[in-house]
């Protein structure tokens, strides 16, 4: 393949449209984020890490995907992308946290923003996973484990996924523009169903997937899901209980994925958009070869079967 225009460093945020910022803020607080900033038109939520925001909600008449933001490796990458057909000029974000960005739409109508220079924030303390006493692995002596009754604490944004008509064409476009690599694919013969894609960070290990390209079953393009890392299995179950008690709609889990190995738990926001808690995912470097798997292999190693409505398209 030809050299990409840029190689993204990581995912920065998802930007979702929602009809009610108050309801979205309440959901995301219960999901385990904290409010970083808010305007009349948008809501900015953070985790316990140093990112100013991981999740942006924009007030709109209908819910859906507004954009996915990727982190540029350096400021010069903004200029490289801005030179591509259809890309915007480099401009200030005009949003809390500052920084500069370039926007471009993929051929399926999904808006992608490449950003650089958003100010960091002071990381916040978080509940520690604590030592584990597992068989011969004894880490907690003379101490007890008390998780508390509270939301899970979101650390960081791990990945997001979109639905597209043709995952092969989508991968070619995203590799050419943003340098993503395939980690694993799900296919039926030569018919691709999904590509799990990671950043190309050379010899540095990175998440098994930062971006998912899934085939849309109804031909529409748009949001599939977004996923946030928590510190361990206790946080998965702490969050599960807290969200269930508040009557939110559970979608899938708790289980352990096969592709990426994450322990996962999926929930829907008030408009049906899917947010995932995960922990214990695989890390790969650029030298790892991609795998191809059947649909039977691509779900989970343990836990419930994938529900039939998982990953349905929420429009762009």
pLDDT for res 176: 97
User: How would you write the chain as a 3-class SS string?
Assistant: CCCCCCCCCEEEEEEEEECCHHHHHHHHHHHCCEEEEECCCEEEEECCCCECCCEEEEECCCCEEEEEEEECCCCHHHHHHHCCCCCCCCEECCCCCCCEEEEEECCCCCEEEEEECCCECCCCCCCCCCCCEECCEECCCCCCCCCCCCCCCCCEEEEEEEEECCHHHHHHHHHHHHCCEEEEEEEECCEEEEEEEECCCCCCCEECCCEEEEECCCCCCEEEEEEEECCCHHHHHHHHHHHHHCCCEEEEEEEEECCCCCEEEEEECCCCCEEEEEECCCEECCCCCCEEECCCCCCEEECCCCCCCCCCCEEC
- φ/ψ of residue 268, rounded to 5: -105, 140
pLDDT for res 182: 98
pLDDT for res 130: 72
pLDDT band at 296 (very low <50, low <70, confident <90, very high): confident
Mean pLDDT of 145-152: 92
Contacts 24+ apart (CB under 8 A), 166-172: 166/192, 166/215, 167/192, 167/193, 167/194, 167/195, 167/213, 167/214, 167/215, 168/192, 168/195, 169/107, 170/106, 170/108, 170/195, 170/213, 171/195, 171/197, 171/213
pLDDT, greater one: 312 or 161: 161
Tally of CB atoms within 10 A around 58? 17
Lowest mean pLDDT among 46-50, 157-161, 218-222: 218-222
Beta bridge partners of 161: 212, 225
Residue 121 has pLDDT above 90, yes or no: yes
Mean pLDDT of 230-246: 96
Mean pLDDT of 61-82: 97
Q: What is the pLDDT of residues 186-199, one digit of tens each?
A: 999 889 999 999 99
Instruction: Using a pLDDT cut of 90, give the percent of the chain over it.
Output: 85
pLDDT for res 313: 64
Residue 316 has pLDDT above 50, yes or no: no
Q: How far apart are CA 96 and CA 44, in angstroms?
A: 8
Residue 212 has pLDDT above 50, yes or no: yes
Whether residue 254 is preceded by a cis peptide bond, meaning omega within 30 degrees of 0, is: yes
Mean pLDDT of 30-55: 98
pLDDT band at 128 (very low <50, low <70, confident <90, very high): confident
Q: How far apart are CA 106 and CA 148, in angstroms?
A: 44
Q: How far apart are CA 236 and CA 256, in angstroms?
A: 12
Residue 217 has pLDDT above 90, yes or no: no
pTM of the model: 0.94
pLDDT for res 286: 97
């Amino acid at each position: 393949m030809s050299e990409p225009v840029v190689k993204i460093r990581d995912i920065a945020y998802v930007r979702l449209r929602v009809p009610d910022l108050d309801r979205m803020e309440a959901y995301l607080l219960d999901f385990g984020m904290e409010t970083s900033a808010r305007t009349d038109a948008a809501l900015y939520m953070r985790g316990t890490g140093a990112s100013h925001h991981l999740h942006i909600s924009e007030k709109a008449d209908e819910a859906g995907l507004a954009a996915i933001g990727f982190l540029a490796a350096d400021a010069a990458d903004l200029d490289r992308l801005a030179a591509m057909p259809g890309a915007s000029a480099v401009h200030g974000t005009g949003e809390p946290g500052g920084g500069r960005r370039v926007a471009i739409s993929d051929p399926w109508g999904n808006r992608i923003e490449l950003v650089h220079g958003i100010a960091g924030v002071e990381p916040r303390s978080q509940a520690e996973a604590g030592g584990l006493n597992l068989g011969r692995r004894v880490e907690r002596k003379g101490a007890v484990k008390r998780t508390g009754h509270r939301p899970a604490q979101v650390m960081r944004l791990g990945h997001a996924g979109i639905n597209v008509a043709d995952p092969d064409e989508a991968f070619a476009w995203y590799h050419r523009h943003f340098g993503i690599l395939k980690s694993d694919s799900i296919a039926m013969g030569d018919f691709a169903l999904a590509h799990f894609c990671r950043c190309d960070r050379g010899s540095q290990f990175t998440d098994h997937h930062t971006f998912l390209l899934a085939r849309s079953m109804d031909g529409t393009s748009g949001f599939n899901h977004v996923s946030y890392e928590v510190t361990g299995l206790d946080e998965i179950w702490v969050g599960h209980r807290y969200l269930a008690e508040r009557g939110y709609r559970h979608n899938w889990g708790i289980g352990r994925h096969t592709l990426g190995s994450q322990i996962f738990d999926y929930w829907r926001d008030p408009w049906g958009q899917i947010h995932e808690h995960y922990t214990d995912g695989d890390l790969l470097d650029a030298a790892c070869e991609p795998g191809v798997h059947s649909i039977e292999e691509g779900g989970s190693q343990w836990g419930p079967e994938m529900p039939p409505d998982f990953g349905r398209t929420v429009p762009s």
